[in-house]
Structure 1
Amino acid sequence: MARYVVDVMPKPEILDPQGKAVLGALPRLGFAGVVEVRQGKRFEVEIEGDATPESLAEVEQMAQTLLSNPVIEDFEVRTA
């Protein structure tokens, strides 16, 4: 069975209010020195069969059409 990980993150120019909320909470919890936090999503996709360039391309198509919003998010697919 082939396993792929899809990481989805807001594009750098997109505001990230969840990341900002975490950034604001960290100093109150005693964590100093953090200058930026961005929050994203992670998907783990299992495909029948072995990892192949074709199955990788299929998962990339999934990420492009369903798992991310390409207008405001970037994604990266890798074999797990």
Structure 2
Amino acid sequence: MKVRILVRLKPGVLDPQGRAVHHALDSLGFDGVEDVRIGRLIEMDVADDTSDAALTRMCEQLLANMVIEDFAFEKLENSKETA
């Protein structure tokens, strides 16, 4: 089974990469962009019986810095979808 995990900075945590992208978009003439936050997407192939609890532990112990980041995951069961 494929799992997608989105890790992003918690609200209120400074995002210098997001600010740089926001500034670049503004300087390129893209009006109306009010904020940019940068995160990362992790895709994993795991055994079909991998539990949500196990995925949560993976995120909490390794994949996300729980002090400054949040995470969410989705299971793509029976999907051949790739990014």
Calculate percent identity across the aligned residue pairs. 43
Segments of structure 2 that go 5 or more residues without pairing to the other structure are: 77-83
Structure 2 partner of 1:77: 73
* Count of aligned pairs between the two proteins: 76
Question: 1:59 Cα deviation (Å)?
Answer: 1.6
Structure 2 partner of 1:29: 28
The separation in 1 between residues aligned to 2:3 and 2:60, in whole angstroms, is: 14
The separation in 2 between residues aligned to 1:22 and 1:70, in whole angstroms, is: 24
The separation in 2 between residues aligned to 1:42 and 1:60, in whole angstroms, is: 15
The separation in 2 between residues aligned to 1:28 and 1:63, in whole angstroms, is: 36
Report runs of 4+ in structure 1 exceeding 6 Å deviation.
none
1:1-80 map, 5 Å? 2-48=1-47, 50=48, 52=49, 54-80=50-76
Segments of structure 1 that go 5 or more residues without pairing to the other structure are: none
The separation in 1 between residues aligned to 2:52 and 2:2, in whole angstroms, is: 10
Deviations 1:21-75 (A, max 9, x none): 0000002212110000000111011112x2x4x4332122111110000000000
TM-score by length of 2: 0.84
Q: CA RMSD in A?
A: 1.2
TM-score by length of 1: 0.86
Compare the two structures and name the one with the higher helix fraction: 1
